[in-house]
Protein backbone atom coordinates (compact mmCIF):
# COMPACT_ATOMS: atom_id res chain seq x y z
CA UNK A 1 0.00 0.00 0.00
CA UNK A 2 2.76 2.40 0.94
CA UNK A 3 4.66 1.55 -2.24
CA UNK A 4 1.62 2.42 -4.38
CA UNK A 5 1.26 5.74 -2.57
CA UNK A 6 4.96 6.45 -3.12
CA UNK A 7 4.76 5.69 -6.84
CA UNK A 8 1.55 7.72 -7.11
CA UNK A 9 3.36 10.75 -5.68
CA UNK A 10 6.27 10.25 -8.07
CA UNK A 11 3.85 9.98 -11.01
CA UNK A 12 2.05 13.17 -9.94
CA UNK A 13 5.34 15.02 -9.54
CA UNK A 14 6.59 13.93 -12.95
CA UNK A 15 3.27 14.90 -14.56
CA UNK A 16 3.43 18.38 -13.01
CA UNK A 17 7.08 18.74 -14.06
CA UNK A 18 6.35 17.93 -17.71
CA UNK A 19 3.19 20.08 -17.76
CA UNK A 20 5.23 23.03 -16.46
CA UNK A 21 7.92 22.45 -19.10
CA UNK A 22 5.27 22.33 -21.83
CA UNK A 23 3.74 25.56 -20.53
CA UNK A 24 7.15 27.28 -20.39
CA UNK A 25 7.83 26.25 -23.99
CA UNK A 26 4.43 27.55 -25.10
CA UNK A 27 4.88 30.81 -23.18
CA UNK A 28 8.32 31.49 -24.60
CA UNK A 29 7.17 30.79 -28.15
CA UNK A 30 4.16 33.11 -27.65
CA UNK A 31 6.43 35.79 -26.24
CA UNK A 32 8.88 35.50 -29.13
CA UNK A 33 6.26 35.21 -31.87
CA UNK A 34 3.96 37.93 -30.67
CA UNK A 35 6.19 40.33 -28.76
CA UNK A 36 4.11 39.79 -25.62
CA UNK A 37 6.25 42.06 -23.42
CA UNK A 38 4.29 44.98 -24.91
CA UNK A 39 0.52 44.87 -24.29
CA UNK A 40 -1.51 44.18 -27.39
CA UNK A 41 -3.48 47.16 -28.66
CA UNK A 42 -6.56 45.10 -29.58
CA UNK A 43 -7.30 44.24 -25.93
CA UNK A 44 -9.91 46.73 -24.81
CA UNK A 45 -10.80 47.50 -21.22
CA UNK A 46 -12.93 44.73 -19.75
CA UNK A 47 -11.26 42.01 -21.85
CA UNK A 48 -8.36 39.59 -21.45
CA UNK A 49 -6.28 37.37 -23.73
CA UNK A 50 -6.21 33.58 -23.68
CA UNK A 51 -4.57 31.07 -25.98
CA UNK A 52 -6.34 27.84 -26.87
CA UNK A 53 -3.77 25.12 -27.50
CA UNK A 54 -4.36 21.49 -28.40
CA UNK A 55 -2.51 19.08 -30.73
CA UNK A 56 -0.07 21.73 -31.97
CA UNK A 57 -2.96 24.08 -32.90
CA UNK A 58 -2.82 27.42 -31.12
CA UNK A 59 -5.05 30.45 -31.49
CA UNK A 60 -5.20 33.74 -29.59
CA UNK A 61 -8.55 35.02 -28.31
CA UNK A 62 -9.58 38.34 -26.76
CA UNK A 63 -12.33 37.45 -24.29
CA UNK A 64 -14.84 39.68 -22.51
CA UNK A 65 -14.68 39.57 -18.70
CA UNK A 66 -18.31 38.38 -18.46
CA UNK A 67 -17.10 34.93 -19.55
CA UNK A 68 -15.57 34.58 -16.09
CA UNK A 69 -19.08 33.82 -14.86
CA UNK A 70 -19.89 31.34 -17.66
CA UNK A 71 -19.87 27.76 -16.27
CA UNK A 72 -18.56 26.27 -19.52
CA UNK A 73 -15.69 28.78 -19.73
CA UNK A 74 -14.92 28.20 -16.05
CA UNK A 75 -14.65 24.49 -16.89
CA UNK A 76 -11.91 25.35 -19.39
CA UNK A 77 -10.09 27.36 -16.73
CA UNK A 78 -10.35 24.36 -14.41
CA UNK A 79 -8.73 22.21 -17.13
CA UNK A 80 -5.92 24.76 -17.40
CA UNK A 81 -5.43 24.64 -13.63
CA UNK A 82 -5.28 20.83 -13.69
CA UNK A 83 -2.80 20.72 -16.55
CA UNK A 84 -0.58 23.71 -15.76
CA UNK A 85 -1.28 24.63 -12.14
CA UNK A 86 -1.62 28.15 -10.78
CA UNK A 87 1.93 29.25 -11.53
CA UNK A 88 1.56 29.92 -15.24
CA UNK A 89 4.03 32.45 -16.54
CA UNK A 90 3.23 34.43 -19.63
CA UNK A 91 -0.14 34.29 -21.34
CA UNK A 92 -3.09 32.30 -20.06
CA UNK A 93 -3.12 29.03 -22.01
CA UNK A 94 -6.22 26.85 -22.08
CA UNK A 95 -5.67 23.20 -23.07
CA UNK A 96 -8.50 22.91 -25.60
CA UNK A 97 -8.89 22.88 -29.35
CA UNK A 98 -9.29 26.45 -30.69
CA UNK A 99 -12.59 25.44 -32.33
CA UNK A 100 -13.96 24.39 -28.93
CA UNK A 101 -13.25 27.84 -27.48
CA UNK A 102 -14.69 29.52 -30.60
CA UNK A 103 -17.91 27.54 -30.10
CA UNK A 104 -18.15 28.55 -26.45
CA UNK A 105 -17.60 32.22 -27.26
CA UNK A 106 -20.08 32.14 -30.16
CA UNK A 107 -22.73 30.43 -28.01
CA UNK A 108 -22.71 33.24 -25.47
CA UNK A 109 -23.04 35.96 -28.13
CA UNK A 110 -26.34 34.60 -29.45
Question: Torsions phi, psi of 109, nearest 5?
Answer: -70, -30
- Report the percentage of the chain scoring pLDDT > 70: 60
**Tens digits of residue pLDDT in 26-53:** 555 554 454 444 455 778 899 999 999 9
| Digit-coded pLDDT (tens) for 60-73 | 999 999 999 999 99
pTM of the model: 0.61
Amino acid sequence: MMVLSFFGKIHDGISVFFAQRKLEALSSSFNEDRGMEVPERDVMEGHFVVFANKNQLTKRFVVDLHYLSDPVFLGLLERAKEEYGFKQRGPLVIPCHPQELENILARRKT
